[in-house]
């Protein structure tokens, strides 16, 4: 996917610097994420990938040593403006983590918990959200007759797809994924990757992954982070075949990381 000038970025990051207890984790980061695109973020450990992801929906605010300068704009509005509703922001920018954590309830209750908190009570609407989100996460056929069974009865791969469906039930605009396939078998990984391809019809996806092969398979663009800096971002095919920076090439070819 290219970046046509007439398409306005969904998320604009401008001069973002992040510190924890005064120590810089990200430095002077500038990056755009466009509507209906899949952006992969790659790089070795301690490059700031997860920190960046957690900045977008302000999860880093939960750590008292966190501070930042710069701006993150969602549809032109800074997510750090004082009047931003955090719960609403996190519904718009939903996050899936590396380790699945289903709530200790049934599959159905896992999926309707978020919408109910957001004020949705109509049963037909909730039922529609459950079916739609499970289908989007490639989990409907495996669970449609088990919706009222405990979610912990699912396999690890199914639990991760349930966590993806739980986020999708809130109808987010941006999907944040932090190593969502790191502990999964190849079959579950393939189902999640298939889901990501289809989901870009309705939202933007930002995928942090240490698996460069996964990044090359499922992303439109790829950003390479190193030691808290954005080294390079561009179309995925270019990043993986003819990167502009030697450090990107060294990482892609396995010389470090």
pLDDT score at 166: 97
| Confidence band for 4, pLDDT divided at 50, 70 and 90 | very low
pLDDT score at 6: 66
pLDDT digits (tens, 9 = 90+) for 39-92: 999 999 999 999 999 999 999 999 999 999 999 999 999 999 999 999 999 999
Does position 1 have pLDDT exceeding 90, yes or no? no
Does position 5 have pLDDT exceeding 90, yes or no? no
Which residue stretches of the chain are H helix? Answer: 49-56, 86-92, 107-117, 123-136, 140-143, 156-168, 186-199, 212-218, 236-241, 246-252
pLDDT score at 102: 96
Percent of the chain with pLDDT over 90: 95
Percent of the chain with pLDDT over 70: 97
Where do the domains of the chain lie? Answer: 11-252
What are the tokens at 131? 């079916």
User: Apex CA 171: angle with CA 167 and CA 173, to 5°?
Assistant: 100
pTM: 0.93
Q: How far apart are CA 124 and CA 128, in angstroms?
A: 6
Does position 18 have pLDDT exceeding 80, yes or no? yes
Q: How far is CA 130 from CA 20, 124, 172, 187, in A?
A: 38, 10, 14, 23
CATH number for the domain running over 11-252:
3.40.50.300
């Amino acid at each position: 996917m290219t970046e046509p000038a007439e398409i306005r970025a969904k998320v604009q990051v401008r001069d973002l610097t992040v510190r924890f207890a005064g120590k810089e984790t990200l430095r002077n980061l500038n990056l755009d994420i466009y509507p209906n695109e899949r952006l992969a973020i790659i790089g070795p450990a301690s490059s700031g990938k997860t920190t960046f992801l957690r900045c977008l929906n302000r999860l880093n605010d939960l750590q008292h040593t966190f501070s930042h300068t710069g701006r993150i704009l969602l549809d032109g509005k800074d997510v750090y403006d004082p009047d931003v509703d955090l719960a609403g922001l996190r519904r718009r920018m939903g996050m899936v983590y590396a380790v699945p954590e289903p709530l200790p309830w049934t599959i159905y209750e896992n999926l309707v918990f978020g919408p109910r908190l957001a004020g949705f009570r109509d049963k037909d609407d909730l039922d529609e959200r459950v079916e739609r989100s499970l289908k989007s996460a490639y989990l409907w056929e495996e669970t449609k007759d088990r919706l009222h069974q405990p979610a912990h009865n699912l396999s690890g791969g199914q639990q991760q797809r349930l966590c993806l469906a739980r986020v999708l039930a809130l109808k987010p605009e941006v999907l944040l994924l932090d190593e969502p396939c790191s502990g999964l078998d190849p079959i579950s990984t393939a189902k999640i990757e298939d889901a990501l391809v289809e989901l870009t019809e309705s939202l933007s996806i930002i995928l942090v992954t240490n698996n460069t092969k996964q990044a090359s398979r499922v992303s439109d663009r790829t950003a390479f982070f190193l030691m808290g800096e954005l080294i390079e971002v561009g179309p995925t095919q270019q990043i993986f075949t003819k990167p502009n920076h030697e450090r990107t090439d060294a990482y892609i070819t396995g010389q470090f990381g």
